[in-house]
A and B are shown apart, each in its own frame.
Chain A
């Protein structure tokens, strides 16, 4: 009735669409970093689109199935294997009772979403099954998977059909060099206009510190802030502000050196100036970027961000139509 974790992989956690309404208390949304792939995997199986799945970063887990279940894996390209035999991505296949499901090293993308017919059964905490590891909340005892864990499953619904797959037009394309669209603002005025322009004019490299909390970038020119008398309560560093809320997707620049894009397990606030926010339509993409890959930030207006959001929603609608 369950799945045993033989090897946990690098950072595998239970995620769904996340939780809302607690950010003002310091609890971030959590949920799959690439929502589109999470939802696609669930819809392929005939699951509710927000069923709890496994998010597997860079190196997948090894799992033994206690019973036969249909599964679907979407997102990063990590070939699934059942008892060593390669299985397709973006397509429903069965894992027989007693069989082992493992994954090859990642070829492209960073996070694979493994949906299981019925969904993973852990208690909902604050309205979600998603893991928020920093706060030891949700998922498997508030943490990433460990060897020896046993994943309980909700009942299979019998709606999943093997061989059902995503239309090629709905499979996201991964790259090694990404463009992320950003609405400038927040504390961007604390940078000189040349430095603001510089930020968007060069490539940044994703550092090894790239996780569910945030993605750190390096390799660009240091961003110097305009000198000023520090406002009372802000702190002495020119990049400091009076501690404020951090939007999901906002880009902060501690000491001007290495920008950090906050993601779904974000720290909810702090004292570093933010210079813009990645648009909602590009947040799934952030979750698929590997350390050491390149990023170029592209300035957009709010109107352009909303147009991109509409296109993103069209794709999501096509996924739902397929279901």
Chain B
């Protein structure tokens, strides 16, 4: 894991209501950690005139009311927060570990990917076969094992309502990477698990998409109707900073979990967790084991 200081932060005015802040041009855990720490501090200080605070993978964005706070004042505040956060001795994040059950190689994403084969780099393989091959795995099963064995950080929530972007918590040379479809699909099943670039996602709603599709989760993650007790009034389950551990399930267990979800009885497996960036950087593999232990042994 690279441990370099983020490249110089770049502030950009986006019209008269948004300030866009790029912490690093490339995706790094350091940049993400900075993004989540600065935006959390900004939320804490409750500055008047701040409307939206949106952390992203290696950047963040603030929507403000320029009649209440000027772009210059806002940027000064953010620079001060970045300095404060960067100088912290202990770099930790109070968060939670969430288990996401996944039926990999499911019939619904299979049906969908076959319909859009001409949009794909390799029409003769499935998305899983293609991803396994270009990432050097000997089989689809080995690829699924790699996707589900390691924890992933929710580094951004968005695109559409509640969709988590997740960043794999392994050294960069072992990170799964796949290109997006050559042309986006017009359809993706709800709760599809997929990857584009280095980010794994869960599609919160049915719709267009360009990520490679690997499976589906029975876990509801967006609840506009307010029917799911595990989702609060925001209607959205995931928060940036959540740690996700996928778990492969078979069809029988998937059906049972889905039936429970449809009755509003899905209970996600969760445990509170303190993430420590420096311990992670020292031993990513050992850290992945600790995350798993926290989830399954408490």
Question: Complex formed: what's the CA distance from A25 to B20 in Å?
Answer: 17
**Which residue from A185, A233, A250, A267 sits with its C-beta under 8 Å from B27?**
A233
Q: Please, which residues of chain A bring their CB within 8 A of the CB of B234?
A: 22, 25, 126
Q: Please, which residues of chain A bring their CB within 8 A of the CB of B27?
A: 231-234, 242
CB pair A25–B161 under 8 Å, yes or no, is: yes
CB pair B161–A137 under 8 Å, yes or no, is: yes
- Shortest Cβ distance from A250 into B: residue: B14
CB pair B224–A268 under 8 Å, yes or no, is: no
Within 8 A of A (CB), among B41-78: 51-61, 63, 66-67, 71
Question: Complex formed: what's the CA distance from A15 to B16 in Å?
Answer: 24
Would you call A278 an interface residue if the criterion is a C-beta within 8 Å of the partner chain's C-beta atoms? yes
One of B81-89, B199-207, B250-258, B288-296 at the interface: B199-207
Question: Complex formed: what's the CA distance from A45 to B212 in Å?
Answer: 51
CB pair A306–B16 under 8 Å, yes or no, is: yes
Would you call B244 an interface residue if the criterion is a C-beta within 8 Å of the partner chain's C-beta atoms? no
CB pair B26–A242 under 8 Å, yes or no, is: yes
Q: Please, which residues of chain B bring their CB within 8 A of the CB of A182?
A: 15
Q: Please, which residues of chain A bring their CB within 8 A of the CB of B165?
A: 243
Query: What is the 8 Å Cβ interface bit string for chain B, positions 12-39, against chain A (1 contact, 0 not)?
Result: 1111111010101111100000000001
Query: What is the 8 Å Cβ interface bit string for chain A, positions 150-187, against chain B (1 contact, 0 not)?
Result: 00000000000000000000000000000000110110
A137-B161, A232-B26, A280-B15 given; 8 more Cβ-contact pairs under 8 Å: A134-B207, A185-B14, A240-B197, A245-B56, A247-B14, A249-B15, A269-B158, A305-B16
Question: Complex formed: what's the CA distance from A142 to B16 in Å?
Answer: 30
Query: What is the 8 Å Cβ interface bit string for chain A, positions 126-142, against chain B (1 contact, 0 not)?
Result: 10000010111100001
**Tally of contact residues, A, Cβ under 8 A:** 52
CB pair B224–A24 under 8 Å, yes or no, is: no
Would you call A23 an interface residue if the criterion is a C-beta within 8 Å of the partner chain's C-beta atoms? yes
CB pair A268–B159 under 8 Å, yes or no, is: yes
Would you call A26 an interface residue if the criterion is a C-beta within 8 Å of the partner chain's C-beta atoms? yes
Q: A136-B205, A245-B20, A278-B15 known; A24 and B161 CB under 8 Å?
A: no
CB pair A24–B66 under 8 Å, yes or no, is: no
Q: Please, which residues of chain B bring their CB within 8 A of the CB of A250?
A: 14-15, 18
Would you call B160 an interface residue if the criterion is a C-beta within 8 Å of the partner chain's C-beta atoms? yes
Within 8 A of B (CB), among A265-289: 267-271, 274, 277-281
Question: Complex formed: what's the CA distance from A306 to B18 in Å?
Answer: 12
Question: Complex formed: what's the CA distance from A280 to B28 in Å?
Answer: 33
- Shortest Cβ distance from B177 into A: residue: A233
Minimum CB–CB distance for B117 against chain A, Å: 20
Question: Complex formed: what's the CA distance from A134 to B67 in Å?
Answer: 31
- Shortest Cβ distance from B206 into A: residue: A136
CB pair B66–A309 under 8 Å, yes or no, is: yes
**Which residue from B14, B53, B63, B163 sits with its C-beta under 8 Å from A26?**
B163
Query: For the side of the interface on B, what is the size category?
Result: 35 or more
Question: Complex formed: what's the CA distance from A142 to B53 in Å?
Answer: 25
Question: Complex formed: what's the CA distance from A239 to B157 in Å?
Answer: 21
Would you call B247 an interface residue if the criterion is a C-beta within 8 Å of the partner chain's C-beta atoms? no
Q: Please, which residues of chain A bring their CB within 8 A of the CB of B16?
A: 183, 279-281, 302, 305-306, 309
- Shortest Cβ distance from B51 into A: residue: A20
Q: A26-B162, A231-B27, A245-B20 known; A186 and B205 CB under 8 Å?
A: no
Would you call A244 an interface residue if the criterion is a C-beta within 8 Å of the partner chain's C-beta atoms? yes
Q: A26-B161, A245-B54, A269-B159 known; A235 and B61 CB under 8 Å?
A: no
Q: Please, which residues of chain B bring their CB within 8 A of the CB of A317?
A: none
CB pair B25–A245 under 8 Å, yes or no, is: no
Question: Complex formed: what's the CA distance from A182 to B14 in Å?
Answer: 9
Q: Please, which residues of chain A bring their CB within 8 A of the CB of B236?
A: 22, 25-27
Would you call B235 an interface residue if the criterion is a C-beta within 8 Å of the partner chain's C-beta atoms? yes
Would you call A210 an interface residue if the criterion is a C-beta within 8 Å of the partner chain's C-beta atoms? no
Q: Please, which residues of chain B bring their CB within 8 A of the CB of A67?
A: none
Q: A277-B18, A309-B66 known; A244 and B179 CB under 8 Å?
A: no
Question: Complex formed: what's the CA distance from A305 to B204 in Å?
Answer: 36
Query: What is the 8 Å Cβ interface bit string for chain B, positions 160-200, against chain A (1 contact, 0 not)?
Result: 11110101000010000001100000000000000011110
**Which residue from A135, A183, A269, A305 sits with its C-beta under 8 Å from B222?**
A135
CB pair B57–A242 under 8 Å, yes or no, is: yes
| Most chain A CB atoms below 10 A, which of B24, B27, B161, B167 | B161
**Which residue from B39, B57, B71 sits with its C-beta under 8 Å from A233?**
B57
Would you call A107 an interface residue if the criterion is a C-beta within 8 Å of the partner chain's C-beta atoms? no
Q: A134-B205, A244-B61, A248-B18 known; A233 and B198 CB under 8 Å?
A: yes
CB pair A234–B26 under 8 Å, yes or no, is: yes
6 residue pairs, one from A and one from B, having the closest CB atoms:
A233-B27, A277-B15, A231-B26, A268-B158, A135-B161, A26-B158
Question: Complex formed: what's the CA distance from A27 to B54 in Å?
Answer: 11
Would you call B156 an interface residue if the criterion is a C-beta within 8 Å of the partner chain's C-beta atoms? yes
Q: List 5 A-B contacts (CB under 8 A).
A: A185-B12, A233-B27, A250-B14, A250-B15, A281-B16
Q: Please, which residues of chain B bring their CB within 8 A of the CB of A22?
A: 234, 236
- Shortest Cβ distance from A228 into B: residue: B25
Question: Complex formed: what's the CA distance from A244 to B55 in Å?
Answer: 8
Would you call A125 an interface residue if the criterion is a C-beta within 8 Å of the partner chain's C-beta atoms? yes
Question: Complex formed: what's the CA distance from A26 to B160 in Å?
Answer: 5
CB pair B51–A134 under 8 Å, yes or no, is: no
Would you call B240 an interface residue if the criterion is a C-beta within 8 Å of the partner chain's C-beta atoms? yes
